[in-house]
Structure 1
Amino acid sequence: MRVTQIEAEAEGSGLAVLGGFHPEPGDDAPDGCRTLLLLGPGEPGFWTRFTASPEWQDGQSDPMDRWSRRVIDDLASRLDATALYPFGPPPYLPFFRWAKRTGRIHASPIRLLVHDTAGLFVSFRGALALVDRIDLPEAQVSPCVSCASRPCLTACPVAAFDGKSYDVPACKAYLDTGAGEECMTTGCRARRACPISATYLRLPRQSAYHMAIFKGRT
């Protein structure tokens, strides 16, 4: 099977293959996994598809996680793969470390992950562990290397990112103010400042949903 076939299957389910790698000892991949692929929202169109789902409409908690389990479990079954998730009870799987192994996702100047097409809006819904070793694209240099202005470092109005740490209390306190409502409704200003994020077709409503979860308003 080729990675393009898996990408097509994922796209049909509203997902995108964000990158993959061939696990080695110490990667903490499942036994027998020879290729691990990370999955995220397939844009454009993810939010429209998700909000039409029964998980969104039934009024129960954690609709996106429940949607992800249903859709990715089904995708894994069709591809004879094992589904893995970044949520659920501990011990948590090392998605951050796996992401950097793909060669398409890197640590940004503000220490959040940056993706070659999703920018700082990259997020994970799950992963597929395959027993077959599938050819993957070669690793790429981080897009931040050629980003001279690095606007993500200065975009936050309360300087919550200093390149070394993330001041979560300062961020959340700002979101409780009237001025912070812009971040709540359109997404984190630092994430939006990334030139790649600016070209990524993610709806503000989706960003608002994630910001509400981050702030504990759902």
Structure 2
Amino acid sequence: MTADMKLDWIAAELRPFGLVPRGSFMFDAKTPAPSLGEHTDFKSAVMIGHFGSTIWPHFGQWRQLQSNMADPLDSWSKEILNKVATRVGAFAVFPSDQPYQPFQEWAKRAEGLSASPLGLLIHPQYGLWQAFRGALLFDSALEPSQLSPTIHPCDVCLNKPCLSACPVQAFDGIGFAVDRCRDHLWTEGFECMDRGCKARLACPVGREHVYVSDQQRFHMAAFA
């Protein structure tokens, strides 16, 4: 099976859940393969994630059938990706699992993304409204994604509205004042909790892909 055929197979397995392969890369000296117990000889990785709210209806249906759990979105991602990994001959890893893997660095290798002033990776089309749910690791070589040169959207954004929209100035382009943000959410931040992070919403890139209201509230509640 060629690399393209395998990626098509992975895409078909993910499609019913609103997930997509988000690029692939080869492990090398710059980005060494992780060593996970008996799994020590990975050659390549395929990043898995979503754009906008494509996962939300599928996650919502699954969640209605579950009892209360601490991390439902992580649990859903693991249930889906572990099954897909078994079918395609891969090993699934997740951002929430220890030992923590350098998912942001992997995402940069796979899709050529860069960080925004908020610290989140920004996509040239989907902006800040995208995420990675896991990665499939293979002990065989898959061709890396062909990355086209793109202009970092933040380099041509002169006003940087994301840095001035936060009501408590939690972002300065260098770091994120986590405690200041959480204190606001727990006291006067009802609007942020209900509608989503104002700094993130201020970004002009990918506005048409902004998460739906329920998804906004879910992520804000999980962060708070």
Q: Shorter-chain TM-score: what band?
A: 0.7 to 0.9
Q: Are 2:118 and 1:118 equivalent residues in the alignment?
A: no
Flag the 1:43–1:93 CA change in 2: closer, same or farther, 3 A. Answer: same
Flag the 1:103–1:70 CA change in 2: closer, same or farther, 3 A. Answer: closer
Greater Cα offset, 70-79 or 106-115: 106-115
Flag the 1:47–1:64 CA change in 2: closer, same or farther, 3 A. Answer: same
Q: Are 2:26 and 1:22 equivalent residues in the alignment?
A: yes
Cα deviation per residue 1:55-89 (whole Å; 9 max; x = unaligned)?
7632233211111111001111122111111113x
Consecutive unaligned residues in structure 1, runs of 5 or more: none
- TM-score, normalised via structure 2 length: 0.84
The equivalent residue for 1:69 is 78
Q: Are 2:59 and 1:59 equivalent residues in the alignment?
A: no
Instruction: Kindly state the Cα deviation for residue 166 of structure 1 after the two structures are TM-superposed.
Output: 0.6
The equivalent residue for 1:138 is 147
Consecutive unaligned residues in structure 2, runs of 5 or more: 35-39
Letter in 1 for 2:108: K
Q: Are 2:166 and 1:162 equivalent residues in the alignment?
A: no
Q: Structure 2 CA distance, aligned partners of 1:74 and 1:116? A: 31
After the TM superposition, which residues 79-118 of structure 1 pair with which residues of structure 2 at under 5 Å, given as runs? 79-88=88-97, 90-118=98-126
Cα deviation per residue 1:135-194 (whole Å; 9 max; x = unaligned)?
51215432222323322122212111101111111111221233x212112211111112
The equivalent residue for 1:150 is 160
Flag the 1:193–1:140 CA change in 2: closer, same or farther, 3 A. Answer: farther
Secondary structure of the equivalent of 1:124?
strand
Flag the 1:197–1:172 CA change in 2: closer, same or farther, 3 A. Answer: farther
Letter in 2 for 1:105: L
The answer to whether the Cα contact below 8 Å between 1:155 and 1:189 also exists between their aligned partners in 2 is yes
The equivalent residue for 2:185 is 175
Flag the 1:146–1:21 CA change in 2: closer, same or farther, 3 A. Answer: farther
Q: Are 2:58 and 1:49 equivalent residues in the alignment?
A: yes
Q: Are 2:42 and 1:33 equivalent residues in the alignment?
A: yes
Flag the 1:18–1:150 CA change in 2: closer, same or farther, 3 A. Answer: farther
Secondary structure of the equivalent of 2:171?
coil
Instruction: Kindly state the Cα deviation for residue 108 of structure 1 after the two structures are TM-superposed.
Output: 1.0
Secondary structure of the equivalent of 1:190?
helix
Letter in 2 for 1:27: T
Q: Are 2:12 and 1:12 equivalent residues in the alignment?
A: no
Flag the 1:197–1:170 CA change in 2: closer, same or farther, 3 A. Answer: farther
Q: Structure 1 CA distance, aligned partners of 2:65 and 2:206? A: 25
The answer to whether the Cα contact below 8 Å between 1:50 and 1:56 also exists between their aligned partners in 2 is no
- What is the total number of aligned residue pairs between the two structures? 213
Greater Cα offset, 111-120 or 52-61: 52-61
Secondary structure of the equivalent of 2:131?
coil
